[in-house]
């Protein structure tokens, strides 16, 4: 698989609480070089990132987070967060689902949370972050089915903030449930090209990856520890 093919599946992420401006700058430069799918920063840093890209003539597509990382903000808050970032130029939204409602089997509230955010952003693609680390396989399957019925663009494994990230097992399950109704994004723990290829073979079409890991996967000359989180 060529770098161009893989790069178009990468969302570069600087969404840790301690992500620095320097990391954001590096992500934006890498996005421009490889034409990756999108760059994610936390909402408070979006204005800075967009200004940096413009001032340096970097071509980067920005995407938004909503309810990140817990998923337990109100639906109204998620809507405002998403809409404000879209108004600033973000072209996709990654929203964290309400894990408590899912685990408590309060499925009407769970579905409405996703549906209302989707309705509020129109044609902008919505990715729903499940945070599989905290869920059983049955709960993952339930979440995926609801998301597919609502018509989201992607179901996503996690935020990268949990103790474990994407696994071959959970992406296989997610793809089996959603089929062709929506796509699957893997985030967290994707640190090498072998894992990327294995997940593509299981139906993954987007990856949330940190800057250092993305450089390694894309063949940049890099000698750094890749134990950082990927999102």
Give me the CATH number covering residue 69: 3.20.20.70
CA angle 25–165–84, rounded 5-degree value: 50
The reply to whether 223 falls in a domain is: no
The reply to whether 18 falls in a domain is: yes
Q: Which residue in the list 94, 113, 118, 215 is annotated as catalytic?
A: 94
The reply to whether 227 falls in a domain is: no
Q: Is 185 a catalytic residue?
A: yes
The reply to whether 137 falls in a domain is: yes
Owning domain of residue 107: 3-217
Q: Is 51 a catalytic residue?
A: no
Q: Is 215 a catalytic residue?
A: no
Q: What is the pLDDT along the chain (231 residues), one digit of tens a residue?
A: 788 899 999 999 999 999 999 999 999 999 999 999 999 999 999 999 999 999 999 999 999 999 999 999 999 999 999 999 999 999 999 999 999 999 999 999 999 999 999 999 999 999 999 999 999 999 999 999 999 999 999 999 999 899 998 999 999 999 999 999 999 999 998 989 999 999 999 999 999 999 999 999 998 744 443 344 455
Number of domains in the chain: 1
Give Cα separations from 204 to 9, 103, 176, 193 (angstroms): 9, 25, 11, 13
* CB within 8 Å of 61: residues ≥ 6 apart: 31, 37, 38, 39, 91
d(CA 188, CA 204): 13
The reply to whether 30 falls in a domain is: yes
pTM of the model as a whole: 0.93
Q: Which residue in the list 78, 118, 127, 185 is annotated as catalytic?
A: 185
The reply to whether 229 falls in a domain is: no
Q: Which residue in the list 127, 156, 175, 215 is annotated as catalytic?
A: 156
């Amino acid at each position: 698989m060529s770098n161009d093919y893989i790069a178009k599946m990468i969302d570069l992420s600087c969404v840790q609480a301690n992500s620095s401006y320097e990391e954001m700058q590096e992500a934006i430069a890498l996005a421009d070089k490889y034409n990756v799918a999108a760059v994610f920063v936390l909402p408070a840093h979006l204005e800075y990132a967009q200004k940096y890209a413009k001032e340096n003539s970097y071509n980067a597509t920005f995407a938004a987070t909503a309810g990140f990382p817990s998923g337990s903000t109100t639906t109204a808050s998620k809507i405002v967060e998403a809409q404000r970032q879209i108004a600033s130029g973000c072209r996709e939204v990654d929203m964290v689902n309400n894990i408590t409602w899912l685990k408590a089997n309060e499925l009407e509230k769970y579905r409405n949370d996703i549906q209302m955010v989707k309705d509020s952003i129109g044609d902008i693609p919505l990715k729903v972050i499940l945070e599989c680390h905290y869920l059983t396989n049955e709960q993952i399957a339930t979440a995926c089915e609801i998301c597919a019925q609502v018509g989201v663009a992607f179901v996503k494994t996690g935020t990268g903030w949990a103790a474990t990230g994407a696994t071959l097992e959970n992406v296989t399950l997610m793809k089996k449930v959603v089929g062709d109704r929506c796509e699957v994004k893997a985030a967290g723990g994707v640190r090498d090209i072998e894992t990327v290829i294995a997940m593509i073979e299981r139906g993954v079409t987007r990856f949330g990856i940190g800057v250092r890991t993305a450089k390694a996967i894309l063949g940049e000359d890099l000698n750094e520890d890749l134990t950082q989180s990927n999102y």
